[in-house]
Amino acid sequence: MFLFKKIFPSISNNTREISLSLSNYKYILDQTKVPTLNENDIEEKYVKGSGPGGSAVNKNSNCVMLKHKPTGIVIKCHESRCVDENRKLARQKLIYRLDEIQNGVYSIEAQKKIIEEKKRTKKEWKRKKLNALKSDWILRENS
């Protein structure tokens, strides 16, 4: 497929690489189509979070809510106590969501799923081959 390229580990490239150790190859994710965020298109609010944490959650507004104006996507992030960290995480989530909407099957998450599926099928094939060799050996030894 043309979603990712197979290269030898010695070849370097300017794009980000994800090494999934599938034989001696590295797979490179195509990140050329990932959208960039324009700060003018984002509406940012700080709201009170929810969940466990008691008074720290009920009194502090450290949950970040981003709204992407052109698409209307709303992202709410309250994974950390730190507002700056939540801002970064919320922006990453927004980029991933925009990538999924804009690129569909060519998004980063879809490419990762395809690589994992290839890895899983290759592992399964190796396991079946080994089991067949073992059963053949047992038949030869018992005869």
Question: Which pTM value belongs to this model?
Answer: 0.65
Can you name the CATH fold of 39-104?
A: Double Stranded RNA Binding Domain (3.30.160)
Domain span(s) for CATH 3.30.160.20 in the chain: 39-104
Q: What percent of the chain has pLDDT over 70?
A: 83
Please report the pLDDT score of residue 51 as a whole number.
Answer: 78
- The pairing of strands 63-68 and 17-22 is unpaired
Rg (CA), the chain: 23
Q: Residue 116 and residue 111: Cα distance in Å, rounded? A: 9
- The pairing of strands 25-29 and 17-22 is antiparallel
How much is the mean pLDDT over the chain? 82
